[in-house]
Amino acid sequence: MKEKKTLIIFVAVMAILITSSIVAFCIFTPKKEAGDKDFVQKKDKLTIALGMEPLNALAIIADSKDFFHEEGLDVVIKEYPSGKRALNEGLLAGEADIATTASTPFVFQSFERDDFSAIATIGSSNNEIRVIANRDRGIAKPQDVRGKRIATQKASSVHFFLHLFMVKNGLSDGDAKLSFMRAEKLPMALASGEIDAFSMREPFISRAGKLIGDKAIVFAEPGLFIKKYNIVALNKLIKNKPDVIASVIRAVVKAEKVMQNNFNEAVEIVSKRLKVDESKISNVLPLIDYRVSLDQSLFNIFEDIAKWAIKYNFTNKTEPPNYLNYIYIDGIKNVAPESLTIIH
């Protein structure tokens, strides 16, 4: 009888110990996110609007290699044919928290609102944009676009480049029949004969070249225009979650190291994402300076674009805004201070 009583007490004690262990485990073990095998800490949710172009390679690589996830972000990616669309239809339309875009769309929106800022430049090039034309339209040199039908994407870097291209070659904007189209419509418009030439960049130059073959002639103007690609965020996100901004910057810094140390892998990733032959991408990427930075030249570019927009009445504003109010420097300053050269 005594042995039976001892056994009952032993079983009861063990039951209490096991129950306590289970409760403690449930209380003190963090819950895993759905689909997360290793990371047990809650992640910050973030939607990023990406412009699908070579200058955006660092963001593409950061996403493809899961660097955003490694930096504690639960990221949803939305892809757009251009940085302008990523900014306007993504970030500023409330469809994304962050966007990647070139300087020209950024400047055009700065005339309309002041609730967003550039947090880092992730690529720049003075030899990325091209004018592609159909030889069968009598175009053999840049001056031959006089009187021809030429198109581009309005209020974007390729639009500004086209203006500079015309001026350099002794032409005015009025010397060609200019029209505006979405980037993805341009290759087929050239192939169908709707237009004679267009100003654009990859992957659309290659797509047009495939469509018209030997009829294609491509004009480059190295040094004519420095196109900078920037990560842009709404000021409310910057104010409320500066740690998220730092995480985004750290992710693209990791991607920068991939570009520096494993070029072939970078080519493979970007080629696959943009659906462009690796041979084309391997020729384009060396033309681009892939450094995560914020430098003083960004102001000069913003102001040059703003003056052009004002002069040609693309805005009703008469003075550029103060672009110091459109740049957030603390993210770069805290993550990669050696890459910050803006005077502040």
What pLDDT, on the 0 to 100 scale, is given for residue 43?
A: 80
Rounded to the nearest angstrom, the gap between the alpha carbon of residue 16 and the centroid of all alpha carbons in its chain is 57
Asked which of 180, 205, 220 is the last residue of a domain, the reply is 220
Report d(CA 65, CA 268) in Å as an integer. Answer: 12
Residue 30 lies in a domain: no
Residues 278 and 313 in one domain: yes
Report the predicted TM-score, pTM, of the whole model to 2 decimal places. Answer: 0.83
Residue 302 lies in a domain: yes
Residues 185 and 288 in one domain: no
Q: pLDDT of 119-150, one tens digit each?
A: 999 999 999 999 999 999 999 999 999 999 99
Radius of gyration of the CA atoms of the chain, in A? 26
Residue 122 lies in a domain: yes
Q: What is the domain extent for residue 265? A: 44-126+226-339
- Mean pLDDT, residues 17-43 taken together: 47
Residues 272 and 251 in one domain: yes
Q: pLDDT of 248-284, one tens digit each?
A: 999 999 999 999 999 999 999 999 999 999 999 999 9
What pLDDT, on the 0 to 100 scale, is given for residue 13?
A: 46
Residues 137 and 85 in one domain: no
Residue 273 lies in a domain: yes
Residues 150 and 293 in one domain: no
Asked which of 220, 254, 274 is the last residue of a domain, the reply is 220
Residues 122 and 134 in one domain: no
Report d(CA 311, CA 162) in Å as an integer. Answer: 16
DSSP 302-315: HHHHHHHHHHTTSS
| Two tokens, residue 172 | 């005015």
Residues 55 and 140 in one domain: no
Residues 185 and 278 in one domain: no
Contact 148, 174 (CB under 8 A): no
DSSP code for 86: I
What pLDDT, on the 0 to 100 scale, is given for residue 41?
A: 55
Residue 20 lies in a domain: no
Report d(CA 50, CA 60) in Å as an integer. Answer: 8
Q: pLDDT of 33-42, one tens digit each?
A: 434 444 445 6
What pLDDT, on the 0 to 100 scale, is given for residue 342?
A: 87
Residue 8 lies in a domain: no
If one counts the domains in the chain, the total is 2
CB burial readout 257-274, b (16+ within 10 A) else e: ebbeeeeeebbebbbebb
- Mean pLDDT, residues 297-303 taken together: 94
Residues 279 and 139 in one domain: no
Residues 171 and 211 in one domain: yes
Residue 22 lies in a domain: no
Residues 103 and 240 in one domain: yes
Q: pLDDT of 192-201, one tens digit each?
A: 999 999 999 9
The confidence band for 54, taking pLDDT boundaries of 50, 70 and 90, is very high
Residue 311 lies in a domain: yes
Asked which of 187, 220, 253 is the last residue of a domain, the reply is 220
What pLDDT, on the 0 to 100 scale, is given for residue 25?
A: 44
| Residue 178, domain CATH | 3.40.190.10
Does 17 have pLDDT greater than 50?
no
What pLDDT, on the 0 to 100 scale, is given for residue 29?
A: 45
Residues 106 and 242 in one domain: yes
Query: What H or E segment, with its residue span, contains residue 181?
Result: none
Does 32 have pLDDT greater than 50?
no
